[in-house]
Amino acid sequence: MSDAARQSDVLIVGSGAAGLTAALNLAERFRVTVLAKGALNEGSTAWAQGGIAAVLEPGDTFEHHVEDTMVAGAGLNDRDIVECVVEGAPAAIERLTRLGVPFATEGNALHLTREGGHSHRRIVHVADATGWAVQEALQRAAEAHPNITLVPDQVAIDLATSRHEQRYSGAGNVWGVYAVDRGTGRVNLYTARATILATGGAGRTYLFSTAPRGATGDGIAMAWRAGARVSNMEMMQFHPTCLYHLEVKNFLITEAVRGEGGRLINPTTGKRFMSYYDAERMELAPRDVVARAIDAEIKRYGLDYVHLDISHQPADFIRGHFPNIYDKLLGLGIDMTTQPIPVVPAQHYTCGGIIIDRDGRTDLPGLYAAGECTESGLHGANRLASNSLLECFVFGEACAGHIAAHWDTLPPVPVIRPWDESRVTDSDEEVVIKQNWTEIRRFMWNYVGIVRTTKRLERAQHRIQMLTEEVADYYGHFRVTPDLIELRNLLQTAELIVRSALHRHESRGLHYTLDYPETLAEAVDTVLVP
Ligand code: FAD
Ligand code: SIN
């Protein structure tokens, strides 16, 4: 890796929708380095199925989209931010189309599908593999740009801050990151005048999650350790319909299946059950409502799963709308044109995160953030389906705009100390990492899941306290590895989730606790200060 890539104008950690959007918006004027911790397309973006929400239908309005977002978010959203993102959607879709994303069409218009919580058809999509097409188009454009250097296999450990300056200035700036190279095992220092965290979510804190392996909350944990506030970490979204299969653990069945008529059925009674939980919206109620309904049916009848059935639709219609899901299920012996699909809820999206303002600025000078690692005010207590890719585009661009407009005020990078490995050795007990990783994910699933109680949360907190000492001791003595970095972040993120959940004495949106079942009159963010 060249020195130029290690000393760029702007450093972006993350090569998904948020990171690459920011990079493409900066590259005309600045030298940009983009890091990914594995392959460039291994984030959640490439896994997105349903699509991107945008008001494009004649009968639809921005007000409807804003209202649907606020209803799903149980009033915890920031209306100004919701309006700004919703109004930015049509332009974002246009830019993606120009980049070559082959959105599905119907006649001369884009085909719009429907998802839970949306009062209108407004989901722009590429069949049932929207994220893959978006990732490919953004990556192709970034790879072709001479000012963008994409560096895979660099696992950021921590932010380089004023604390790491050779001559301490006390200004509190962020100057880049230290990252371990998966190939060499060496720790590299990447510096820049501005750093953008676009590291995605923290889904892998839970045993069952639709998110990819790398969703370990790294950016949230790094920002927190460096002194940035985080918010609403208790708002973990569980997707109602993840495939239940003994070998395939995290395959999502898109909400668009319900949007196109899919029905949820209790396999014991053979009855459609959503009418008992939300008679008006049925299968298209917001995700928190549907996930809790499935959880309740599973617990009440002692089930392993419920059925999602769309076999009443014509076979050609199903194959045409859901070609990838159809193929995947057929490979597992399930023909969705004639059979119901066994499904369970699984963690899906991290609504909370690093607090950012409208320009993507965090609390720390020189540090910006965008996408799933942030809490921008858009999602509130529960994200409306297909609003998150949209958030990545809007805030990726906002960060870039602010950096460009304020470039002259960003101080040049001082001399930063290299990573110090003089007091550590190679680990001789890798089993500790594996054991702790599994333990965290299991107690988070059992104690901090869809339905919570104070007692369960306290149990989780107690486990976290014990593991924190163990992991800190391990981190202090052994050379960092990607697995150790992720374990440390997973644990930190779990701690933030549990602390936030204990803090909220009500049930709202995704946070549902038997000890405080009521929703308070006033919606207040849970803000944690380092
Ligand atoms: P990601 O795309 O997750 O990218 C994170 C990047 O950060 C990666 O490049 C990763 O390598 C890098 N990174 C992380 N940690 C480090 C580190 N320590 N060092 C270096 N690099 C690091 N949303 C929708 O709007 N519509 C949908 O239809 C939809 N479907 C979904 C389906 C699935 C199965 C899942 C899991 C999510 C879905 N979502 C959907 C949510 C959406 O995909 C994500 O919220 C969004 O893609 C997040 O993009 P991002 O750029 O913030 O992060
Ligand atoms: C889905 O396709 O159901 C996922 C959509 C989303 O997470 O926004």
**Band of pLDDT at residue 4, cut at 50, 70 and 90:** confident
Ligand (nearest to CA of 388): 1
Q: Which one of 386, 389, 393 would you pick to mutate in the ligand 2 pocket, going by the greatest count of ligand atoms within 8 A of its CB?
A: 386
Please tell me the total count of domains within the chain: 3
What distance in angstroms lies between residue 199's CA and the mean position of ligand 1's atoms? 7
- 170's torsion region: left (phi>0), alpha (psi -120 to 50) or beta? left
Closest atom of ligand 1 relative to the 14 alpha carbon = 7
- Token pair recorded at residue 498: 């549990």
What distance in angstroms lies between residue 38's CA and the mean position of ligand 1's atoms? 13
Is it the case that residue 61 has pLDDT exceeding 70? yes
> Can you give the pLDDT at residue 476?
87
Is it the case that residue 171 has pLDDT exceeding 90? no
**Band of pLDDT at residue 210, cut at 50, 70 and 90:** very high
Same domain, 35 and 132: yes
CA nearest ligand 1 atom 24, residue = 386
Among the candidates 347, 371, 388, a domain finishes at 347
Same domain, 221 and 105: yes
pLDDT, tens digit, 9 for 90 and up, residues 238-247? 999 999 998 8
Q: Which one of 34, 113, 199, 243 would you pick to mutate in the ligand 1 pocket, going by the greatest count of ligand atoms within 8 A of its CB?
A: 199
Spot the catalytic one: 193, 204, 287, 441: 287
Same domain, 182 and 195: yes
Choice among 110-119, 387-396, 429-438, 506-515 with the minimum mean pLDDT: 429-438
What distance in angstroms lies between residue 396's CA and the mean position of ligand 1's atoms? 13
Torsion angle of alpha carbons 199, 200, 206, 207, nearest 10°? -90
User: Across residues 196-214, what is the average pLDDT?
Assistant: 96
What distance in angstroms lies between residue 79's CA and the mean position of ligand 2's atoms? 22
Residue 185: beta bridge partners?
Answer: none
Same domain, 53 and 90: yes
Same domain, 158 and 297: no
Same domain, 25 and 105: yes
Among the candidates 347, 378, 397, a domain finishes at 347
Same domain, 339 and 356: no
Query: Within a domain: residue 524?
Result: no
Which residue is listed with tokens 């720790």?
Answer: 187
31 tagged catalytic: no
Ligand (nearest to CA of 47): 1
> Can you give the pLDDT at residue 191?
98
Query: Within a domain: residue 23?
Result: yes
State whether residue 175 is helix, strand or coil: strand
Phi and psi, residue 283, nearest 5°:
-65, -15
Same domain, 119 and 62: yes
Same domain, 314 and 293: yes
Same domain, 260 and 273: yes
Ligand (nearest to CA of 252): 1
User: Across residues 333-360, what is the average pLDDT?
Assistant: 97
Distances in Å between the alpha carbon of 286 and those of 48, 144, 516? 18, 40, 21
> How far apart (Å, rounded) are the C-alpha atoms in residues 350 and 322?
25
Cβ(350) – ligand 2 distance below 6 Å:
no
Cβ(173) – ligand 2 distance below 6 Å:
no
Which domain CATH number covers 302?
A: 3.90.700.10
Torsion angle of alpha carbons 166, 3, 31, 229, nearest 10°? -40
Strand order across the 174-181 sheet:
154-161, 174-181, 187-191
Q: Which one of 237, 254, 283, 387 would you pick to mutate in the ligand 2 pocket, going by the greatest count of ligand atoms within 8 A of its CB?
A: 254
Strand order across the 263-265 sheet:
236-243, 341-350, 306-309, 263-265
Is it the case that residue 9 has pLDDT exceeding 90? yes
In this structure, the residues whose C-beta lies within 6 A of any atom of ligand 1 are: 13-19, 35-38, 42-45, 47-52, 130-131, 154-156, 179, 198-200, 210-211, 214, 218, 252, 349, 371-372, 386-389, 392
Query: Within a domain: residue 252?
Result: yes
Same domain, 402 and 488: no
pLDDT more than 90, % of the chain? 90
Query: Within a domain: residue 414?
Result: no
Query: Within a domain: residue 34?
Result: yes
Q: Is the dihedral of CA 130, 136, 137, 138 positive or negative?
A: positive
Q: Give the long-range contacts of residues 325-330, CB within 8 A, separation 24 or more.
A: 325/49, 325/128, 325/253, 325/254, 325/257, 328/251, 329/243
Contacts of 490 (CB under 8 A, 6+ apart): 202, 204, 205, 216, 217, 437, 440, 441
> Can you give the pLDDT at residue 52?
98
Query: Within a domain: residue 526?
Result: no
Is it the case that residue 1 has pLDDT exceeding 70? no
Which residue is listed with tokens 């220092």?
Answer: 189
Count of Cβ atoms closer than 10 Å to residue 167 Cβ: 6
> Can you give the pLDDT at residue 169?
83
> Can you give the pLDDT at residue 162?
92
Q: Which one of 44, 242, 257, 391 would you pick to mutate in the ligand 1 pocket, going by the greatest count of ligand atoms within 8 A of its CB?
A: 44
> How far apart (Å, rounded) are the C-alpha atoms in residues 152 and 181?
9
> How far apart (Å, rounded) are the C-alpha atoms in residues 351 and 376?
9
What distance in angstroms lies between residue 503's CA and the mean position of ligand 2's atoms? 28
pLDDT, tens digit, 9 for 90 and up, residues 406-447? 999 999 999 999 998 877 788 777 788 889 999 999 999 999
Residue 252: beta bridge partners?
Answer: 242
pLDDT, tens digit, 9 for 90 and up, residues 124-166? 999 999 999 999 999 999 999 999 999 999 999 999 999 999 8
What distance in angstroms lies between residue 45's CA and the mean position of ligand 2's atoms? 11
In 118-193, DSSP assigns E strands to 123-124, 148-151, 154-161, 174-181, 187-191
Q: Angle at CA 92, nearest 5°, toward 72 and 237?
A: 30
Which domain CATH number covers 37?
A: 3.50.50.60
Closest atom of ligand 1 relative to the 372 alpha carbon = 52
Closest atom of ligand 2 relative to the 241 alpha carbon = 3
Closest atom of ligand 1 relative to the 19 alpha carbon = 51
> Can you give the pLDDT at residue 422?
77
Exposed / middle / buried, residue 174 (Cβ in 10 Å: 0-12, 13-18, 19+): buried
Would you say 250 and 242 are in contact if contact means Cβ atoms under 8 Å apart?
yes
Pairing of strands 148-151, 32-35: parallel
Same domain, 199 and 254: no
Ligand (nearest to CA of 308): 2
Is it the case that residue 383 has pLDDT exceeding 70? yes
Which residue is listed with tokens 């959105």?
Answer: 103
Query: Could you tell me the residue range of the domain that residue 455 belongs to?
Result: 430-518
What distance in angstroms lies between residue 349's CA and the mean position of ligand 1's atoms? 9
What distance in angstroms lies between residue 204's CA and the mean position of ligand 2's atoms? 17
User: Across residues 62-75, what is the average pLDDT?
Assistant: 97
> Can you give the pLDDT at residue 42?
97
Give residue 47's identity as a one-letter amino acid code: W
Query: Within a domain: residue 133?
Result: yes
Which domain CATH number covers 476?
A: 1.20.58.100
Query: Within a domain: residue 530?
Result: no
